[in-house]
Amino acid sequence: MSWQSHGRASPPQTVNLTAAKIMMDKTTDHEIVQVTVRVNLKQSVAIYKGGKLIGGNPNEPQDIEEFIVLEKWPTRDVYEDWKIAARLTRKA
């Protein structure tokens, strides 16, 4: 199998920003921040078996739209990095 990135189809775009306070128990609450970013990429994939192409095409990049949800819990640790909480990928 071979996979290749052919760059961006368009610049990334923030599509949602959410902040909330979550009650963990009667005395403790935490804040959470989530950002959803839409990324449009050009990618190609080719699947080979015994040297013969059986799927995809390495010469035909496809537009792929991906939504990445990043989250941070700022009340837990000031220095905590953003983490990928979810990803959704579809062919554009």
For residue 24, the model assigns a pLDDT of: 76
CATH number of 2-91: 3.10.450.240
For residue 50, the model assigns a pLDDT of: 93
Task: Give the count of beta carbons closer than 10 Å to the beta carbon of residue 41.
Answer: 19
- Cβ-contact 46, 57 below 8 angstroms: yes
For residue 30, the model assigns a pLDDT of: 82
For residue 10, the model assigns a pLDDT of: 92
Q: Residue 89 corresponds to which tokens in the numbers above?
A: 């990928």
- CA dist 53 → 5, 49, 57, 58, 64 (Å): 19, 7, 8, 9, 21
pTM: 0.74
Per-residue pLDDT tens for 35-71?
A: 999 999 999 999 999 999 999 999 999 999 999 999 9
Position 67, amino acid: F
For residue 87, the model assigns a pLDDT of: 94
For residue 74, the model assigns a pLDDT of: 80
